[in-house]
A and B are shown apart, each in its own frame.
Chain A
Amino acid sequence: MKKTEKIAFTGIFTALAFALSYIEYLIPFDAIGVPGVKLGLANLAVMAALYLFGFFSAAAVSLVRILLSWLIFGNFTAFAYSLIGGVLSLAAMYLLKKIDLFGEIGVSVSGAVAHNAGQLAAAWLLTSTPGVWYYLPVLAIAAAVTGTLNGLLLKIALPRVKKIIN
């Protein structure tokens, strides 16, 4: 694939990630009573970029989406949390894909768990409340469920998307 094509597709996937964050925002999970549980749909676009175009494209999709959210919604605290979660999640997914032992589901779940851990780390640092780590087990179980769903979706979508872009 030509470099210009890759850049253009990265832009499209960033827009997709941003649209998915908005859909995510419309589906609240407040009833669970534990903050931080969400579907993580935007990660679908990040993972698709990782599988189709490689690490730098995935990093661009993830970071530009987070930056866009900050510029549009203007919430710096939310930006800081997203950034730490996003960077950790990206690192985890890249490593798991690199070692080539796991499939889409393993990569997706590890990204979800790393994202939650990153956000808790950020909350811990910013509020100096070590008690936030109590949320990790519940969040990890939620991440296992949503990560598996996202991984399955990616597994189904990837071959079809590949056919379109080639």
Chain B
Amino acid sequence: MNKKTLRDIILVAVIVVTAASALAVINSSSRPGTEFEILVGGELFGTYRLDRDAVITVGDLCVAEVKGGEVFMRSSTCANQTCVHHRPISSAGDPIVCLPNSVTVRIKGGSETDYVV
């Protein structure tokens, strides 16, 4: 094995180990949220509770649903539907971002309060 390939392997290993550690820190420090907010184009659209099942229609852009303490995007008018395929979220700081429609669903109590790297 030549030196470059060896360095490649080290580089990949460093990236994976760093990312895995960051992931472990995020998961261990994450706690369930109680409220979430929906932003449209960076502006607050509304704040909602996670413990009450609900269906929220965001203008003509998308529909978010709260079910069993989790929130997910039920439907969206965007082209790529990435937000609809996103896993349901429930931990503080977790986001679902719909880039084409510029809609963000975010669990409150995340990075701005207690998350320090």
Residues of A within 8 A of B (CB): 30-31, 33-35, 75, 77-78, 81, 101-106, 109-110, 113, 123, 126-134, 136-138, 140-141, 143-144, 147-148, 151
Contacts and interface: CB of A to CB of B under 8 A. Distances in A.
B18 interface: yes
Interface of B: 2, 4-5, 7-9, 11-12, 15-16, 18-20, 22-23, 26, 39, 41-42, 79-83, 85-87, 93-95, 97, 99-100, 102, 104, 106, 110-112
Given A102-B11, A123-B99, A131-B110, A144 B19 contact: yes
Contact of A129 (B9, B22, B82, B104): B104
A140 B18 contact: yes
B7 A102 contact: yes
Nearest to B18: A140
A130 B106 CA distance: 10
A26 B72 CA distance: 25
Contact of B20 (A30, A113, A141, A147): A141
Given A109-B11, A126-B99, A137-B23, 19 more contacts: A30-B82, A33-B86, A34-B86, A81-B99, A101-B7, A103-B5, A105-B8, A106-B7, A123-B99, A127-B39, A127-B41, A129-B39, A129-B95, A133-B111, A140-B15, A141-B19, A144-B12, A144-B15, A148-B12
B107 to A, nearest CB: 8
